[in-house]
Chain A
Amino acid sequence: MFDSFDAFLSMGGYASYVWPSYGICFGLLALLTVQSILVWKRRQRELSLLQGGRARRRDKEPRRHDKEQGSGKSRTPSGEEENA
């Protein structure tokens, strides 16, 4: 517990140890979170591009199996990126 905001910031004279610890911790974790999301989004985009291309090709000469898949509720992996 601190008497004032200044006392809180100075951390009893140990500000240069306490604040960098918290800064590095949450800074790095934030970077990792953003990077993880970016990697996922990029691969998801590539995936939907590839799958989209294949789906179009398949549409030209539809087979029974593909029709079944298309008419079902979005149970394919591509269902995810349709929502995104």
Chain B
Amino acid sequence: MHRFANPSRFMRVADALLPWMIALCLPLFAAGLYYGLYQSPADFQQSETVRVMYIHVPTAFLAQAAYVVMALGSASFLIWKHPLGDLIARSAAPVGAVFCFVCLVTGSLWGKPTWGTYWVWDARLTSMLILQFLFFGYLALANAFDDPARGDKPAAILAVVGIVNIPIIKFSVYFFNTLHQQSTLFGDLMGGSGDAAKSVNQPDIAAAAAEQGSALAPEMLLPLMLMFGAFSLFFLILLVLRLRGEWASVRLRALRAGFRPAPEEV
């Protein structure tokens, strides 16, 4: 495992995987968009607005996944001084910020027709907004210094401390009163499958959740899963592309500082 903590070796593996990820990502997006926008049925309560779900839910998941990647990279940089950890954190931050922003905007556009409002200051929406500010804060701190290396440590500390927000986002719909619905996909995490539906007096949904593990109709589950796969791969592709840029700038700084370039391994 430590073999891959070397950035140049890690980048070679990532570069080799990149074409395969692109080749897998594009057809997944095509199928996901076809089933999500066209082939899947409209929701009987939400009508066609339910189609926003196929981008809102995966981007929400990936914004949090990006944050976890950023925090783990930062932690490994702080603890073991792995330069790769800092590179990964710096690469994940802008990608996570964009996913988080897309999640907030699509949620807003979904909220207007279904809840009657674009925004409400409840636990789920507010904690997601805080995630957005954590991404912005990290990016600002990491790039605040003339010598970017000086921003490594404070930004990494912010990323590690901010991880407390991730469980808050996850459980905000269970602990607090909120307009945001609880997870349909995974049933109720807090008390066995289906309890979430029972608590809002929807026994048919509860029964479906108990029966098939998820309360989401299979015709909607398929495009959602396709989009989950496509967005996850797209996240990895963006991560590799940004890693290339970060790795190039590290070598650039080393060259300008008068060191010889690391030919193979450092």
Q: Which residues of A contact B (CB under 8 A)?
A: 1-2, 8, 11-14, 17-18, 20-22, 24-25, 28-29, 32-33, 36-37, 39-40, 43-44, 46-47, 50-51, 54, 69, 75-78
C-alpha spacing A22/B53, complex, angstroms = 10
Contact partner, A32, options B42, B112, B238, Cβ 8 Å: B238
- B12 → chain A, closest Cβ, in Å? 10
C-alpha spacing A13/B56, complex, angstroms = 20
Which residues of B (76-130) have their CB < 8 Å from a CB of A? 94-95, 98, 101-102, 105-106, 109-110, 112-113
For A2, A25, A33, A51, which residue has the most chain B Cβ atoms within 10 angstroms?
A25
- B213 → chain A, closest Cβ, in Å? 26
Closest B residue, CB atoms, query A38: B245
Which residues of B (30-63) have their CB < 8 Å from a CB of A? 37-42, 47-49, 51-52, 55-56, 59
B198 at interface, CB cutoff 8 A:
no
Contact partner, A69, options B37, B38, B263, Cβ 8 Å: B263
Contact partner, A51, options B52, B94, B255, Cβ 8 Å: B255
Question: Cβ of B101: which chain A residues have Cβ within 8 Å of it?
Answer: 28
- Is the Cβ of B55 less than 8 Å from the Cβ of A21? yes
Contact partner, A29, options B98, B109, B264, Cβ 8 Å: B98
C-alpha spacing A30/B35, complex, angstroms = 21
Q: Which residues of B contact A (CB under 8 A)?
A: 8, 37-42, 47-49, 51-52, 55-56, 59, 94-95, 98, 101-102, 105-106, 109-110, 112-113, 234, 237-238, 241-242, 244-245, 248-249, 251-252, 255-256, 261-264
- Is the Cβ of B51 less than 8 Å from the Cβ of A11? yes
Closest B residue, CB atoms, query A69: B263
- Is the Cβ of B52 less than 8 Å from the Cβ of A36? no
- Is the Cβ of A21 less than 8 Å from the Cβ of B252? no
For B40, B42, B51, which residue has the most chain A Cβ atoms within 10 angstroms?
B51
C-alpha spacing A17/B49, complex, angstroms = 7
C-alpha spacing A56/B8, complex, angstroms = 24
C-alpha spacing A12/B74, complex, angstroms = 46
C-alpha spacing A32/B92, complex, angstroms = 12
- Is the Cβ of B263 less than 8 Å from the Cβ of A12? no
- B199 → chain A, closest Cβ, in Å? 28
Closest B residue, CB atoms, query A50: B255
C-alpha spacing A33/B113, complex, angstroms = 31
- Given known pairs A14-B49, A51-B261, the reply for A40 and B38 (CB within 8 Å) is no
- Is the Cβ of B263 less than 8 Å from the Cβ of A77? yes
- Given known pairs A18-B52, A24-B105, the reply for A47 and B47 (CB within 8 Å) is no
Q: Can you show 8 pairs from A to B with CB atoms below 8 A apart?
A: A2-B38, A21-B56, A24-B102, A29-B238, A32-B95, A36-B242, A36-B245, A47-B248
- Given known pairs A17-B113, A32-B95, the reply for A76 and B263 (CB within 8 Å) is yes
Question: Cβ of B251: which chain A residues have Cβ within 8 Å of it?
Answer: 47, 77
- B48 → chain A, closest Cβ, in Å? 4
